Amino acid sequence: MISLSEVSKDYGGVRGLSSASFEVPDGLVACLVGANGAGKTTALKAIGGLVRPDGGEVRVDGAAPGRSPYPLGRLGLVLGADHWVGSRTGFQCLMGIARTSGIPEVRVRQCLEETGIAAVGDRKVRTYSLGMRQRLSLAAAMLGQPQNVVLDEPFNGLDPEGVRWLRSLLRRLADEGRAVLVSSHLLGEVEDIADRVVVLNEGRVLAQAPVDQVRRPGGVIVRADDPAQVVALAHSRNWQVEAAERPGDSEGAVLIDAGIEEVQRAFFDEGVLFTEMREAKRSLEGWFFHVLEGEQEP
């Protein structure tokens, strides 16, 4: 389990984190989202013990970061793919880490296999694509079979097949009981695997919620030949109504803030004709922008 409690960090007057609190329980994938400079990387570095907070507490399985006789078994951390020595092979890079922690060569080769880069393990890292270096970083993080896995923008540089593979891997790690924290600006890539989402902005936690709650029904999309009649019906029931401007909505459609069953019943009771009626689902991306704009959280 990973937890931050009222964590703050300033960089010479520039706020990195401001009283940020959130948890990643075992068995869940949590997604940390926010614009560039929101504080995501500072939070991950604090979890990894790479920066010391000015206030608050960070705990990984109940202990301060780095305070473990076997740190690679507690936390696997991926903060990027550009820190490798290009003149060494992927295998040599991993072995350098493994030797310092008493990890056998067989585990190194197993991690190369698990991350899909065994075939290029004897190639120099400078010949690797960004996606290959991302996989190498993940292989390094998994050497100690850690209970907690933290990844910063892991989908960068991956092709569609790589994205699907990484989604499957992260889901499997959580299903095995690990705590998985992913920082990403590619919200569509994590929406289907994340269990929780945490929104950071200017170092503050603006909102956090289960993804199932984030993606709850967001009203009803209705299209009719007479939109004014639809609006009048909505107003008669004290429902909020607005033009539907979400991707994929039909021209002239309206969004009614009510449940689809009660909307259907009202239309049939009043004999109002429509050409389209469907439940609107709020996406993770849509909820994220609603939070940033200060709208009510779920």
* Contacts within 8 Å (CB) and 24+ apart, 231-238: 233/266, 233/267, 233/270, 233/272, 234/258, 237/262, 237/266
State residue 36's pLDDT score: 85
Residues in a beta bridge with 196: 30, 210
CATH class belonging to 217-281: alpha beta
What is each CA distance from 170 to 7, 133, 175, 200, in whole angstroms? 26, 17, 9, 22
- Per-residue confidence band for 85, with pLDDT thresholds at 50, 70 and 90: very high
Average model confidence (pLDDT) for the chain? 89
pLDDT of 296 reads: 43
Q: What is the mean pLDDT of residues 98-113?
A: 95
**Edge to edge, what strands does the sheet with 241-243 contain?**
241-243, 254-256, 217-223, 276-281
What one-character DSSP code corresponds to residue 89? Answer: B
Residues 252-281 pLDDT 10s: 788 998 999 999 999 999 999 999 998 887
| Spatial distance between the Cα atoms of 137 and 253, rounded to a whole number of angstroms | 47
Higher pLDDT, 95 or 189: 95
pLDDT tier at 291, thresholds 50, 70, 90: confident
Considering the entire predicted model, what is its pTM?
0.79
Angle between helices 227-236 and 260-270 (to 10 degrees): 110
* pLDDT attached to residue 83: 87
Specify the pLDDT at position 218.
73
User: Residue 135: is its pLDDT beyond 90?
Assistant: yes
How far is Cα 173 from Cα 142, in angstroms, rounded to an integer? 10
**H helix or E strand, kind and range, residue 174:** helix 160-175
Beta bridge partners of 197: 31, 209
The tens digit of pLDDT for each residue in 150-205 reads 999 888 888 889 889 999 999 999 999 999 999 987 787 788 889 999 999 999 99
Among 84, 70, 48, 152, CA closest to 95: 84
Q: Where are the domains of the chain?
A: 2-213, 217-281
- State the CB neighbour count (10 A cutoff) for residue 237: 13
Residues facing residue 15 across a β-bridge: 10
Q: Is the pLDDT of residue 295 over 60?
A: no
By CB atoms closer than 10 A (0-12, 13-18, 19+), residue 13 is exposed
CATH class of 2-213: alpha beta
pLDDT, average across residues 128-135:
93
121-125, 132-136, 254-258: the lowest-pLDDT one:
254-258
